[in-house]
Amino acid sequence: MENRAMWLTFFFTFLISISTAAHSSGKKQIEALSRIYKEKLEGNSRIDTSHFNATHHHILREKFINSQKGLKEKDLIERLPGQPQVKFRQYGGYVTVNKTAGRAFYYYFVEAQRSEKTLPLLLWLNGGPGCSSLAYGAMQELGPFRVHSDGKTLYKNKFSWNHAANVLFLESPAGVGFSYSNTTSDFKSSGDERTAIDNYVFLLNWFDRFPEYKNRDFYISGESYAGHYVPQLAHTIFIHNKKAKTNSINLKGIIIGNAVINDETDVKGMYAYFASHALISDATSDQIMKYCDFSPNATTQTDKCNEAASEADDNVNDIDIYNIYGPLCHNPNITQNPKKTTSALNMDPCSDNYVYAYLNRPEVQEALHANVTHLPYDWKPCSEVLQKWHDSPATIIPLLKEFIANGLRVWIFSGDTDGRIPVTSTKYSIEQMKIPSKSSWYPWYLGGEVGGYAQVYEGNLTFATVRGAGHQVPSFQPARALSLIMHFLAATDLPNSSRK
């Protein structure tokens, strides 16, 4: 543990410095992701960084599965305050994942805008750890609505992913968003393993509440630290399906974006990205690559490494590292009337503030069937309740290789203007997997323009970039993100011609 701590020290110092400069959504998410690195590097930390394995989990239906009779009907959302008229149904409510501890997860579910009885079910998870899928996924990225600058009204996102699937958003673990626990010690003992187990128990109960989806094709998606959550949940499903000798959950594939995959390559790739995008000088880059040891076995960093890392800090301190060419939020105040320039195509850098105002309105929480226990704190996009994180594997590459070996569809995508978990980090991580490619690197198209670049690998693995997108790909390039998810769900390659 101490060995890992030494090489993470200089990286965490960097993260703290940029988190104080980033604004709006960037600040909250960077702080959440930085916290896990801080805990890993502390000398007295007991964070387990070993490989995640669900084979020892014993989940008994009689202990964790509760009666869901009549709950689906109670969860139906008639209409959200300030919502435009829509024709699809939406649901929101709680699923108890541990009755003894009093842990319950909040979900928001939107049926597909057409063919809801045949289209697949897609679960979306945000990362952090500790950030809300309602705050980001549902309200700022791929959900059917966005929040106006007045914090009171909604407008349609015409690129919502419920054009392609029935979409389920989950706030987890307990302490995130509206999800809660009646056992306060839970907030000091959260971690990847418990999150995966609780997410799995949530799904077992949710499928009992919505039995029409039990045999539906099911996919898991997410971004950032959900690069851990998504594969770990998929692995848990895979193991328990194997134990039961039946596909109790009909998992077909996973897709993760700008994902935390492998600590070593995540860090090295970040600095490589800074250099290739003229955010740091060649001299600083050369010094980092020469004197910094990115290996998890490193026991110390040289003064020259720390000096160069500090120089990099100064260079990127005043930009949004999650969207390096994007504007910052300079006026976070709610407006009396909605801004006239509002569009899903133009992400407002102050959107976090609008969502915060909207989801803390009592009439909104009532409509969502949320905050039924009257939590003693405001709903926030990233949790300030979680205090400790118990386990965080150094890599999830073994899980990805397991899925590929067993025929599960795996797509990894990367917004190419994200500097936090950039395209270089993801490419380095994929290289570590040593999987032969089936196609050469090629541009993919949407509307006659290059939407990004892609490469297909043996074993049902695809890597795709999304041109002009930051860390939250559906926020910054919603049309390209929708095209991406449609091709993923259809198991078709991204088009290599502008005529397709």
C-alpha–C-alpha distance, residues 223 and 133, integer Å: 10
Give the end-to-end CA distance of the chain in Å, rounded to a whole number. 51
Q: Are 56 and 239 in contact (CB under 8 A)?
A: no
Q: Are 226 and 256 in contact (CB under 8 A)?
A: yes
CB neighbours of 234 closer than 8 A, spacing ≥ 6? 220, 251, 254, 399, 403, 408
Q: Which two tokens stand for residue 475?
A: 């926020």
DSSP letter at 152 equals S
Q: Are 51 and 191 in contact (CB under 8 A)?
A: no
Q: Are 5 and 392 in contact (CB under 8 A)?
A: no
Residue with tokens 């600083």: 284
346 burial via Cβ count (<10 Å: 0-12, 13-18, 19+): exposed
Q: Are 176 and 194 in contact (CB under 8 A)?
A: no
Catalytic residues: 224, 418, 471
Q: Mark out the alpha helices in 295-417 (DSSP H runs).
A: 303-316, 351-359, 362-368, 397-405
Instruction: Indicate the residue type of 407.
Output: G
